[in-house]
Amino acid sequence: MAAATATETSRAAVVLLPDAGPLITLAHADALHLLHKPGWPVRVVDMVLHEVTRNATPTSEKIGRWVAERSIVVLGTRTFQRHLAAQSGDEAPRKANLGELAIQETMTDLALATPATTGVFLFEDHKIARASFLLPANCRKISTRAWLLFLEGRGWIDSADAIERAAIASGRNFSRLRFPPG
């Protein structure tokens, strides 16, 4: 795993930042490779990687192996460092929404360090779709379902529904929320 900061992503016009949900869904469908279809660099935020690999799950090993084999750059955050410090201290570490906070931190850093780079935040969580999630002007958020439809529309996959069905057949409780609504 390579480590990087938002500044190091400045070589690309677009950077894809998946949250835990899309990583889990695509791993269930054996489709993590789809994150690379547009040719954009994929970066994983350290807290998100920790969330999806810290426990043995049907997808944790797949995701960890994908990150290692593809040499995916892992972006370091203060959120994850604080989480590690809390784990090693006497206080009970906060667990809720840390991945989202770390992605928010990463997008803010990206906006400040490389405003010409667009950060695309790939999410699946219902709370993110409905929440007021502060997005810098150079960042976008897109749901897993909308991402798959984007890939299908570009002709990069045959069927977004087939990927969704593969994830569900593998045991993924895929979000029924459609974002944007429609």
Enter the CATH code of domain 2-169.
Answer: 3.40.50
Q: What does the pLDDT read at residue 134? A: 73
Please tell me the least confidently modeled range out of 64-78, 141-155, 168-182.
168-182
- What's the confidence (pLDDT) of residue 135? 77
Of all residues in the chain, the percent with pLDDT exceeding 90 is 57
> pTM for the complete prediction?
0.84
Q: d(Cα 81, Cα 61) in Å, to the nearest integer?
A: 23
The rounded distance, in Å, linking the Cα atoms of 129 and 16 is 17
- What mean pLDDT, rounded, does the chain reach? 84
Exposed, middle or buried by CB within 10 Å (0-12, 13-18, 19+), for 172?
buried
Instruction: Return the pLDDT at 126.
Output: 58
Nearest alpha carbon to residue 76 among 43, 53, 31: 43
Instruction: Give the mean pLDDT of 50-63.
Output: 94
Tens digits of per-residue pLDDT, 4-31?
444 444 445 899 999 999 999 999 999 9
The rounded distance, in Å, linking the Cα atoms of 29 and 4 is 28
Short-list 119, 115, 133, CA closest to 179: 133
Residue 131 or residue 57, greater confidence: 57
Polymer length in residues for the chain? 182
pLDDT at 132: 56
- H/E run at residue 15: strand 14-18
Query: Long-range contacts made by residues 166-172, C-beta under 8 angstroms, separation at least 24?
Result: 166/28, 166/29, 166/30, 166/31, 167/25, 167/26, 167/28, 167/29, 167/31, 168/28, 170/28, 170/29, 170/30, 170/58, 171/28, 171/58, 172/24, 172/25, 172/28, 172/29
Task: Label residue 48 by pLDDT band (50, 70, 90).
Answer: very high
